[in-house]
Structure 1
Amino acid sequence: MASIMLVACGSQTEEDGLTLNSKFDGTWNIHESFERNSDGSIVYHAIPWGGLVGSMRERNLPVDWSKYESLSVEFTEPTTVGTQLMISNKLRVFGKPGITTVTCYFDGQDVSQVDEVAIQSADSSTLKIKRVYLTPGSTVWTSTPLWEGNCVFGNWENGFIVDKEKFLEAEPGDKLEFIYEADTSDPNVQYWQFKTIYNGTDKTLEGNADQLNEWGCCSVGESGVLRIRLTATDIKELRKYGMFVNGYYNNVSKVNLLKKGYTQKETY
């Protein structure tokens, strides 16, 4: 799944149903703590891969977020460590240090049974969380296959190329969709990664730069879908070089190009 930095527009309160700060009321690790400020913001004292957790259930049942576009966490100040936003242990997006917002875009993924959201830190830190919020509206995307096969990454052992001719119809704002299965056969493997570069270069795609670690790798969950929003630079470079993809313990079966059809905004 892809994420970019965003700046929230306008002001919204807990009562609008979009801001979820009040839902976060616990941590996964007893050695973590948090305080809630009078303005609703949260100061979270995190340890590596603990979690500030919010139950999204209503009447003890999972909620349906299908009518929403994305979930975002806005920080009061730039982060100093990597952070991760995880939804029901299915969707997750990683944000590198120095960002002010991490966003998980749903675009067609199944968010009809959401029970829990967690905010995690890759290292011990204090995260100052201004707002956790949903963005309404649903975008319809049309899908065109770019590559199909069965690439078993293993421990960075294998990869594949998507030819440059495949990107002639791509435009800025389109998305690349990678369909994969996380290889969970080895209990010692606790994370899964992708690396996407312009073929024949050492340059990673720009569209998910906020998700990449210092080696240019993107951590993913077990959901089986990664999406990257393409920038104008990505389009130019992909048409020139094509794309090379490899990673850590994922098995990839398909790469699609998603083009935006139309957006239907909800009325509140």
Structure 2
Amino acid sequence: MIHETIPVPVLSTILEDSTGRLTTYCRGRTGLLADDGQRWAVLILPGGSYERIAPAESEPVALAFLAAGIQAFVLEYSVLPRRWPQPFLEGAAALAWLRVHAEEYGFRPDRVAVCGFSAGGHLAGWLAARWDHPMLKQQLGLSPEQVRPDAAVLGYPVVHAARYLAPLGGAEELRLDRQVTGRHSPTFLWATVGDATVPVENTIDYAAALRQQGVSFELHLFSDGPHAMGLADRESARDEAHYNAHAAAWHPLCVDWLKGREG
């Protein structure tokens, strides 16, 4: 396995003051049939209320994607007191860097997905919706084609929960459902109805916005389970409440959906 840690300033020298880092979880080329450079890659953005990086949504998720034949990368983006748009800039820089290094890590540059949970889902959604934002060109020198995710996976995302968006600099300005246009990346959504931290209406309203704009998406709602379940299996559950074998079906469903986009 190619397991490396790359500081964010290496991804973009313009972000020289960032303390974030990108960790790789990739299969090396060993002459197997799958080592043909045609794999998908996924950039994982853990949650943590934009205050921390949640371990349950980091390495366990990366290893699950890797086991499914998808090259995985975890971005530990800047959190508070660093405010928006710092995480957005770092996510964009990571996506562009992955495309440049696609051949090195054995995936296709047009098969780069972003996967976020909770606050990381908000960030993933912004990247999927606003990959053409002028600030990415102005501040990072990146073109929309370098940034745009080819697919997006959002788990119980923060969409319009003001308590998590207000500290970043503005709840209304950062609402995810108001960023959606017909240019949004194809999206896989999942959440639990029992989530009392980020109510399921966040996911439902986001799906409605995608539907209104004609964006291709798949939505899975599971009845039981608290917030921050990660994979919802024992490998990522921090306690019994966060283990739910039924909700854990989201990941194989997601892998099938993603690979089904290969054409």
- What TM-score do the two structures reach when normalised by structure 2? 0.31
Structure with the higher fraction of residues in strand conformation? 1
Q: When you count helix as a share of all residues, which structure comes out higher?
A: 2
| Higher RCO (CA < 8 A, seq sep 6+) | 1
